[in-house]
Amino acid sequence: MKTFPLPRSTERTLRLLWAASVLVLMLAASALAPARAQEAAAATVDKGDVAWMLVSTLLVLLMAMPGLALFYGGMVRAKNVLSVLTQVMTVFSLLVVLWAIYGYSLAFAGGGAWIGSLDKLFLAGVGVDSLADTFSDGVKLPEYVFFAFQATFAGITGAIIVGGFAERARFAAVLLFSVIWFTLGYLPIAHMVWAPGGFLFELGALDFAGGTVVHINAGVAGLVGAWMVGRRIGFRREAIKPHNLTFTYVGACLLWVGWFGFNAGSNLEATAAAALAFVNTMLATAAAVLAWGVTERISKGKASVLGAASGAIAGLVGITPAAGLVGPMGAIVIGLVAGAVCVWGVNGLKRMLGADDSLDVFGVHGLGGIVGALLTGVFAAPGLGGTGGADFSIAGQVLIQALGVGVTLVWIGAVSVVGFLVARAVFGLRVSEEAERAGLDISTHGESAYES
């Protein structure tokens, strides 16, 4: 085949065009490289973080069963211990299932100010390849891990509430209330505080592991329940004593151990920040045990085992919102204050409120959560050893913290009233006097913890 040579000028032009095309492609590749690197970094999943978060999830489960169950079970009378164990496990299980069906979506999907969306209803789009954010740019968790961790938070919060009206509430009413409270109360508060776009999140409210979302929430709901279900037969007329303080002590110890997953796990990564939350959880709890014992010794003349166990819980509750945000010395102060204040909460405040809060849900969780939430605004200041920025304002942050506390008190208070009214209309809130005197173990569950 005969070929014809190109004119020299045309050949030169084609070569220039080829060189220009290569240069453009190289520039485009170099421009895309950082974006691709950033995308790859955004998808980084560290196996150490995954392992730590799975262990933390297991530790929070330990807090509920058997930790909380034993802690509560020992404080009721022998005729009601199985009813409390059953309520803790069943409420926890119910809420975990609801979390999978719609709770996770409404709490963490979407960016509305008050509630999420239904984009992840029935865990739509959540699978082995989907990822969830952590607090560090470029670090992710498998979404199943984040889902499971947050599921235990929802479950244990509902389980804590049952202590407010233990020994006299109808089992069916407890379950129906739990569904209403979870849907209208827990999910909006969790979204507002922890989800990007949430009302309190965007205001800058600090709640590292659940001071408002878990403890103030549960405390208010338990208090409303104590009022609406009514007092136990014989309340303040006869001695209503814990039947097994050994159970309560063991339960408190298990709660303390499990709480390291609750608080340090809320860092979502196995880093120095998780270690800080771990240390603060240990120190604040120890300080609260001492503060409760000293306060009890001064006010009552003796320091009790029940007081030591309750002091541990008060310290754990108090440090929860602050765990990864304050320094160790700040954690000790928070523990001391929470321990001392909660002694008053389960004695003086309880009498002022006139509620038969059976297992002191508000006096410890509610009041301790309020103390911790407010003091987080103080001790997160960098000048006091906290992790706040250079422009941190104690007065401004405390005001934001107080707003978060107020929103939780009002929102959960209103939702709880509605929930109990509905449960009363459907099932009735309280067992019969005969059933209460016989004990809920036999009258509701047909079993006895201690056969004679």
Does residue 185 fall inside a structural domain? Answer: yes
* 451, part of any domain: no
Residue 383: its pLDDT value, please?
96
pLDDT of residue 22: 45
pLDDT one-digit tens code per residue, 112-121: 999 999 999 9
What CATH number is associated with residue 427? 1.10.3430.10
Least confident of 17-31, 79-93, 228-242, 419-433: 17-31
Q: Note if the bond before 382 is cis, omega within 30 degrees.
A: no
Is residue 390 in a domain? yes
Lowest mean pLDDT among 38-42, 118-122, 285-289, 429-433: 38-42
pLDDT in tens, 269-289: 999 999 999 999 999 999 999
pLDDT exceeds 90 at position 20: no
Structural domain contains residue 126: yes
pLDDT computed for residue 8 by the predictor: 55
pLDDT at position 428 over 60? yes
Asked whether residue 379 is domain-assigned, the answer is yes
Pairing of strands 139-142, 131-133: antiparallel
Question: Does any domain span residue 25?
Answer: no
pLDDT tens-digit map of 352-361: 999 999 999 9
pTM over 0.85: yes
Q: Would 409 be classed as within a structural domain? A: yes
Name the domain count of the chain. Answer: 1
Q: How far apart are CA 21 and CA 220, in angstroms?
A: 69
Residue 317 within any structural domain of the chain: yes
Is residue 386 within 8 A of residue 324, CB to CB? The reply is: no
> Which domain, by its residues, includes 318?
43-445
Q: Provide the edge-to-edge strand list for the sheet that holds 131-133.
A: 44-45, 139-142, 131-133
